[in-house]
Amino acid sequence: MHPIAQEQDLTSSFTLMVAMPLLMIPLERTATYRGEPTNAISDVDTAQPFVRALRKLKRSLFWEVFLRDPELLHRWRFTEIARRIDHPSQWRDSLDRHPMRPGARNDIKEQNVDNVLMTLRHALAHGNVVYLNEAGDEAPGRPVTHMAFVADGRGTDAYRVVIVEEVAFVEFLKAWADWLAGYNIDSTLRRAA
């Protein structure tokens, strides 16, 4: 289906449509609050190996698991921006630089899988996904090259932001679906990616 979306210039919309169930269902079904399951998976015996593996995976560094090659780090950015998030062209990191400009802060290499997945999950759940062009702005009529996933800063006065090249996000979704498939997660999700 991805080639059809590309032909129709719907890659961004299709990618987000696939990302929602791929990310949200496993994360929500294994979520805990104060050590207790909030949405337990129905088949507990089958789910336990998956839940244990996911907990272990979440502690790993994101780039080592999903990017593997340091040359791919430039395709992903993780930073925090000040509370003013309404206009992407005005976003500023802690160095007072736009997150997509040279010299901007990029903490993707230090992020564990949990922090990146939860930032993506929160942004998807709350509709905080911003389509950006190559300059890091929303511009009607300009091609989308990046997607920004914006989530609250977990008690800080900043927002966590993952900015990723559209193509790199599709590659990540395929890798995530492959990882899920190793635990008998519905294979139709992998085919969609």
Q: What are the pLDDT digits (tens) for 99-117?
A: 999 999 999 999 999 999 9
Residue 27: its pLDDT value, please?
A: 79
Dihedral sign, Cα of residue 62, residue 25, residue 155, residue 93: positive
Residue 50: its pLDDT value, please?
A: 80
Residue 34: its pLDDT value, please?
A: 60
What is d(CA 173, CA 116) in angstroms, rounded to the nearest whole number? 13
Residue pointed to by tokens 């939860």: 118
Q: Measure the CA angle with vertex 62, ends 58 and 64; round to 5°.
A: 115
Residue 100: its pLDDT value, please?
A: 94
Q: Which of 136, 125, 128 is nearest to 88 (CA)?
A: 136
What is d(CA 153, CA 162) in angstroms, rounded to the nearest whole number? 12
How many whole angstroms from its chain centre is CA 48? 24
Average confidence score pLDDT of the chain: 83
Q: Which of 67-76, 166-175, 177-186 has the lowest mean pLDDT?
A: 177-186
What is d(CA 78, CA 10) in angstroms, rounded to the nearest whole number? 25
Tell me the percentage of the chain whose pLDDT exceeds 70.
80
Residue 86: its pLDDT value, please?
A: 84
The β-bridge relationship of strands 36-37 and 76-82 is unpaired
Token output for 131? 């389509």
Residue 183: its pLDDT value, please?
A: 77
What is d(CA 98, CA 75) in angstroms, rounded to the nearest whole number? 16
Contact 129, 121 (CB under 8 A): no
Q: Does 133 or 31 have the greater pLDDT score?
A: 133
Q: Does 69 or 167 have the greater pLDDT score?
A: 167
What is d(CA 91, CA 138) in angstroms, rounded to the nearest whole number? 12
| Mean per-residue pLDDT, 135-158 | 86
Residue 20: its pLDDT value, please?
A: 87
